[in-house]
Amino acid sequence: MSSVKSAENLVEKMKATLLDYGKVYGSERLVECKSCHFVTSCGLRFVKSMFTIMQKLADAGLKCKVPLTANPRPLDTKAYPLLERLVGSYLYGKQSLLESLLLKLGLISRDAFTCTPYYIGNKPEYGEVVAWAESSAVIYANSVIGARTNRNSAMIELFSGILGLTPEFGLLLDENRKASWLIEVKTTSRPKFFVLGSLIGKTILEDIPYIVGLDRWDVNEYELKDMGAAMASWGAVGLFHVEEVTPEAKEKERSKLLEEGYRRLVVDDLSMKEMEALMRKGEHDSEPDLIVIGCPHLSKEQIADWVRKVEGRRFTRRTLMLAAPKIIDEVKNSRDYMRLQNAGVCLSSICPLMFTNIPITKRLRIVTNSGKLAYYSHAIFMDDSQLLEKFTAPA
């Protein structure tokens, strides 16, 4: 079959797949899609069908019509202890094949591997429909940017990116973006955002929250990122509104964004304390082997913030700070790099979850400031100030 014919065939098959997939959720049509973020960024040796499909698409010369980025890489030889490096290289043995296929399919750059695509040039506009499939990125796109995406399954996002079309249902539609929970934050001080997100996600599961009480503080964009990632992992939340803060909640008044008969959750100091205790379950007195900071990947502002926090101090345990390759390159070209090195920090762009998926990592004691990593792995949660107090000493 000629490559033109084969490309036409594949386009028809992808269209039919998206239509069938959409029908399951009541969708009747495909709508324009402006961006794609690919979730399955690890070249797992045992996965076959995904590679077969991607290879066919690449051989037919098909490419994404929209910006394409992918989730973080699983491997970083500099960051891993020797045993993990060896087992990881075996487990993720198809990594170079995966990366070469993604490049052929339109990855925006050789290093576009991060769960924060919006920090490296793949940032949709308010109201635009996109096809993303990484839960922390999906909730960020919907809530912080005000773009529209469902929590897509792997390959659905890639087909949508190649066709420039995606099925219209769920969070793409106004009527499904209303909140069914009113969350009243009544803590006496600025909440820990990873803990707050975990508490909300664990309580409301896949619903949408409308959060009030956070406008008492000047909430950072990256605090919303981290809170969302926790909600999307302790529950399956794909969108949240924060009164006076997130774009849709700024545009519409409370009554327009809350469903009738909504439920209520009051968050106070006690419920936050109980949630944090749950996230620290399994904590031990022995020193950790590894500290992981940056899941989801850190923004430039977060790294600058850490530089200030560790000034004059040094981590006493092996510490990974994670960010997109592009962000790390920028840090490496600044004075901050030397400061982080002096503080004993190793910068990397891996996904720590794929690291902890390597079976022998269970022997390692890991602590993390990420509510998401604490949920999915054996890592124990500690917030930034606890990490600084327990695991740094004067340099």
Which of 235, 238, 296, 371 lies at the binding interface for ligand F3S (CB under 6 A)?
Answer: 296
Tally helices (H) and strands (E) across the chain.
17, 16
**Does 374 engage in binding with ligand F3S (CB under 6 A)?**
no
Contact 76, 347 (CB under 8 A): no
- Percent helix, strand, coil in the chain, to 5, is 45, 20, 35
Among 49-57, 174-182, 199-207, 292-300, the segment contacting ligand F3S (CB under 6 A)? 292-300
Q: Is 43 in the site for ligand F3S (CB under 6 A)?
A: no
CA-based Rg of the chain, rounded to a whole angstrom?
21
Q: Least distance to ligand F3S from the beta carbon of 270, Å?
A: 28
Per DSSP, 213 falls in state: S
Q: Which is nearer to ligand F3S, 71 or 152 (CB)?
A: 71
Does 295 engage in binding with ligand F3S (CB under 6 A)? yes
Selected range binding ligand F3S among 92-100, 104-112, 290-298, 339-347, rule: CB under 6 A: 290-298
- Among 22, 43, 67, 72, indicate the residue that binds ligand F3S (CB under 6 A): 72
Between CA 74 and CA 100 the distance in angstroms is 15
Helices 3-24 and 49-59, packing angle to 10 deg: 130
Closest CB to ligand F3S among 22 and 235? 235
Burial 186-203 (b: 16+ CB within 10 A, else e): ebeeebbbbbbbbbbbbb
The smaller minimum CB distance to ligand F3S, of residues 116 and 187, is found at 116
Encoded one letter per residue, x for contact with ligand F3S by CB under 6 A and - for no contact, window 86-125 reads -----------------------------x----------
Q: Which two tokens stand for residue 83?
A: 């045993």
Burial grade of 136 (CB within 10 A; 0-12, 13-18, 19 or more): buried
Based on CB atoms, which residue is closest to ligand F3S, 155 or 373? 373
Using CB under 6 A as the binding rule, whether residue 290 contacts ligand F3S is answered as no
> How many amino acids of this chain bind ligand F3S (CB under 6 A)?
14
In this complex, which beta carbon is closest to ligand F3S, that of residue 136 or of residue 142? 136
Residue in the block written with tokens 């005000």: 146
SS3 (DSSP) at 6:
helix
76 lines the binding site for ligand F3S (CB under 6 A): no
Q: Which is nearer to ligand F3S, 57 or 231 (CB)?
A: 231
Closest CB to ligand F3S among residues 138, 340: 138
Residue 7: both structure tokens together: 């490309």
Query: Which of the stretches 83-91, 256-264, 295-303, 338-346 binds ligand F3S when contact is defined by CB under 6 A?
Result: 295-303
Nearer to ligand F3S, 18 or 44 (CB): 44
Our finding on whether 238 is near ligand F3S (CB under 6 A) is no
The tokens describing 85, both together, are 């490096």
Q: Which residues contact 156 (CB under 8 A, 6 or more apart)?
A: 17, 18, 21, 131, 133, 166
Q: How far is the CB of 349 from ligand F3S (least distance, A)?
A: 9
Contact 325, 113 (CB under 8 A): yes
**Which of 192, 197, 145 has its CA nearest to residue 35?**
145
Please name every residue paired with 321 in a beta bridge, in sequence order, or none if there are none: 293, 347
- The span from the CA of 38 to the CA of 98, in Å, is 12
- Under the binding rule (CB under 6 A), the answer on residue 71 touching ligand F3S is yes
Select from 86-94, 141-149, 335-343, 350-358 the region that touches ligand F3S (CB under 6 A): 350-358
| Contacting residues toward ligand F3S, per CB under 6 A | 71-72, 115, 134, 136, 229, 295-297, 351-353, 372-373
